[in-house]
Amino acid sequence: MPLQDYSLPNSQPSRRTPLTERQLLHSVVETARQIFGAAASSIFLIDGASGDLVFEAVAGKGDAHLPGTRFPAGTGIAGWVAVSGQPVYIDDLDGSRQFARGVAQSTGYVPSSLMAAPLTRGVDCIGVLEVLDPSTASRNELADLDVLGLLAVQAAIGLEILIRARTRTNGTPLSDENAMLLDRIGRRMCTADPATAALALSLLTTAEEVLAGGRSPR
């Protein structure tokens, strides 16, 4: 699967730029962490120039120091998901050949289980959403992967909307492409089940708030 550059500018561990895109991504990882009762959740975006995986948003373990940290392309399970475009749920990371334990140790937290799903834009992978050590209560692997995949889709859609909105001149009407994207979102929400529609609406509301400048930067 092709890799697309959606990494955010000035993504450095020592100096984070308060971008609305990052606020949206943080709302997604915080939602994922709470839904799954997880120790942590994170979103990596792909640096198109190097292929590096860049921590852009983290909730839970590592949220104070990991944003901006990057790892080489193909590193660990996130790297595998980015290349394959496939979601994964691993209950026992000790038995996983893809798990990069040394990399996990360098982040300050070594999980025992992990879920991950790609953020995609068309056929391009733009990043990876991970959930570390989800709660074992009422676990249903297929259902959990479906929910995680939905969150990843909403993150990718919201990110694209925000980036497009930032690149157009104020007062300029939406392009046909943007209008079609918003129309597709609206139609899909009309046919989604209530829980899915509510989740999508929550994420889109966050996107609207940060576009309007109604939320303070993190």
> What does DSSP assign to residue 95?
G
Cα angle 64-26-105, degrees, rounded to a multiple of 5: 45
Tell me the fold of 11-211.
Answer: Beta-Lactamase (3.30.450)
Taking CA atoms, 127 is separated from 24, 136, 156, in Å, by 14, 26, 8
- Structure tokens that stand for 138 in this block: 């009422």
Taking CA atoms, 32 is separated from 24, 44, 129, 195, in Å, by 13, 14, 9, 14
Predicted pLDDT at 16: 39
Predicted pLDDT at 182: 64
Question: What is the average per-residue pLDDT within 180-207?
Answer: 67
Taking CA atoms, 102 is separated from 75, 88, 107, in Å, by 11, 20, 9
Question: What is the average per-residue pLDDT within 212-217?
Answer: 53
Cα separation, 106 vs 152, in Å, equals: 25
DSSP string computed for 16-33: E---HHHHHHHHHHHHHH
| Predicted model pTM | 0.70
Share of the chain above pLDDT 90, in %: 39
Where residue 68 falls (left for φ over 0; alpha for ψ -120 to 50; beta otherwise) is left
Question: What is the average per-residue pLDDT within 170-186?
Answer: 60
Task: Judge whether residue 41 has pLDDT over 70.
Answer: yes
pLDDT tens readout for residues 2-29: 444 455 444 443 333 335 777 788 888 9
